[in-house]
Amino acid sequence: MRALCLTLAATIALTACSSKTPAAPPALKPGGSACEGLVQPGGKQVRFGENDGLAGVVIGDGKAAVVLAHQAPGSLCEWLPYARSLAERGYRALAFDFNGAGSSSFTGHLGDQDVADAVTYLRGQGVTQVFLMGASRGGTAVVTAGARIAPPVDGVISLSAPAAFAGMNAREAAPALAVPVLYICAEFDTSFVDAAKELYDLSKGSKDRRLKITYGSQHGVAMLMPGVDNEPGLEITGFLKTYAKG
């Protein structure tokens, strides 16, 4: 009888193992209080990139999409209020965590590859236009990625970007940037305002390069608080309206 019980137990265990479904990618759990109540309602949690290692939130369903790349340190959480504002204006926004940050796995890729993976994901979802927008670290990443993504994206918006960061060199990429680009920085934002001016000067190959130096010392996403109707927000809205179709 004991031998029969052991046999049955082994059979049940083997059956359970053989019928086990593959583990789903880990749920998106953005860290910190900044995301509380912001992902829902209406936000769709997504994973993409190598082995679905990158985590993101999509808000809106427009055919023109905006990739939102965050600062360092930081996560997609900081972009969610602005993503909702974009969605209200008819755009689709994808805010994502760089690999090794927030809910994304560490892959060792440079941040511009993460941006490129976000573009690939959105194009696979049927969007017809993609714009890149990043703050600080994210600003460096979108300039670097925007110079090499093929087919080209429709525009790049860089806020308070250093000329180089974590292996990404926007200083080298900017001369190859052929798409429209908008650089924004606050006039008292230390060395970042010098970097914005330098990158603008280097972007001579862009079909439309713009530089907006705003009053104050706010850095990156903070320039867009409390909403999209302040000076930098209106500059971005105008840029998107110029190049977004329909």
pLDDT digits (tens, 9 = 90+) for 195-204: 999 999 999 9
- Answer yes or no: is 27 within a domain: no
pLDDT digits (tens, 9 = 90+) for 12-27: 333 333 333 433 334 4
Residue 2 belongs to some domain of the structure = no
List Cβ neighbours of 201 (8 Å cut-off, separation of 6 or more): none
Q: Which domain holds residue 156?
A: 37-243
H or E element: which one contains 44?
Answer: strand 44-48
Find tokens 């985590």 and name the residue: 55
Least reliable range by pLDDT among 3-12, 96-105, 155-164, 193-202: 3-12
Question: What is the mean pLDDT of the segment spanning 184-192?
Answer: 95
Question: Is 20 within the bounds of a domain?
Answer: no
For residue 173, pLDDT over 80 is answered with yes
**Angle 197-230-180 from CA coordinates, rounded to 5°:** 45
What pLDDT score was predicted for residue 14?
A: 35
Q: Does any domain span residue 1?
A: no
- Number of domains into which the chain is organized: 1
- Specify the pTM: 0.86
Is position 155 within any domain?
A: yes
Question: Which amino acid does the sequence have at 173?
Answer: A
More confident residue, 114 or 33: 114
- Here the contacts of 122-129 (C-beta below 8 Å, separation 24 or greater) are 122/65, 122/67, 122/92, 122/94, 125/58, 126/63, 127/62, 127/63, 127/64, 127/65, 127/92, 128/63, 128/64, 128/245, 129/63, 129/64, 129/65, 129/154, 129/243, 129/244, 129/245
Q: What contacts 25, CB < 8 A, 6 or more positions away?
A: 47, 52
**What residues form DSSP beta bridges with 155?**
131
Domain membership of residue 28 (yes or no) is: no
Q: Check residue 233 and give its pLDDT.
A: 92
CATH number, domain of 67, equals 3.40.50.1820
Question: What pLDDT, on a 0 to 100 scale, did the predictor assign at position 134?
Answer: 98
- Give me the pLDDT at residue 15, please: 37
Question: Does any domain span residue 12?
Answer: no
Per the domain annotation, does 3 fall within a domain?
Answer: no
Tell me which DSSP letter residue 174 carries. Answer: G
